[in-house]
């Protein structure tokens, strides 16, 4: 099988699957697999600190989320800079993400509040070229594109042999 590169395909479905297994107090072992358009596999873990009764043996899910958002835009800026002929001497990205949190009896509810991303680029290229680069990277960042639109997330519960939608 030949290697898939941006030059060899013009469109594709990109699919990741993840299976998580609860271990320890609050630790989750995650088997993350890209299944389309190629195959890759990663083993990750999450844990919570004492607030949720965990041991903080791995990053909490929100840290991975914010790290993924930051890494996604950085990856696209670097990849697209090459394709667009923009010189990058250095790149730093700072992301700030806030959620509202409110107690609801014995549980709580959350809502996204703000997503702010600062991009510091060291380059001799004109500012318009840098703006075009960041605009293209925003459109190419899977996570940013997912966050920027309404999404439907379905949940099912399996009990015995039956599946029920929540």
Q: Are residues 51 and 109 in the same domain?
A: no
The answer to whether 81 and 134 have CB atoms below 8 angstroms apart is: no
Predicted pLDDT at 45? 97
Task: Please indicate, yes or no, if residue 97 is contained in any of the structural domains.
Answer: yes
What residues make up the domain containing 13? 1-59
162-165 and 156-159 beta bridge pairing:
antiparallel
37-89 per-position pLDDT tens digit: 999 999 999 999 999 999 999 999 999 999 999 999 999 999 999 999 999 99
Long-range contacts of 26-34, Cβ-Cβ distance < 8 Å, separation of 24 or more: 26/52, 26/53, 26/54, 26/55, 27/54, 27/55, 27/57, 27/58
Q: Are residues 45 and 120 in the same domain?
A: no
Give the global pTM: 0.90
Q: Are residues 108 and 162 in the same domain?
A: yes
């Amino acid at each position: 099988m030949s290697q898939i590169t941006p030059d060899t395909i013009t469109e594709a479905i990109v699919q990741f699957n993840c299976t998580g297994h609860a271990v320890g107090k609050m630790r989750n072992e995650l088997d993350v697999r890209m299944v389309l358009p190629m195959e890759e596999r990663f083993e990750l873990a999450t844990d919570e600190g004492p607030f949720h009764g965990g041991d903080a043996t791995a990053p909490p899910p929100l840290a991975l989320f914010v790290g993924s958002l930051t890494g996604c835009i950085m990856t696209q800026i670097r990849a697209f800079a090459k394709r667009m002929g923009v010189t990058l001497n250095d790149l730093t990205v700072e992301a700030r993400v806030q959620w509202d949190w409110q107690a609801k009896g014995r549980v709580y509810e959350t809502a996204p509040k703000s997503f702010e991303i600062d991009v510091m680029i060291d380059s001799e290229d004109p500012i318009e070229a840098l703006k075009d680069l960041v605009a293209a990277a925003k459109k190419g960042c899977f996570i940013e594109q997912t966050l920027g639109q309404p999404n439907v997330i379905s949940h099912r519960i399996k009990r015995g042999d039956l599946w029920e939608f929540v």
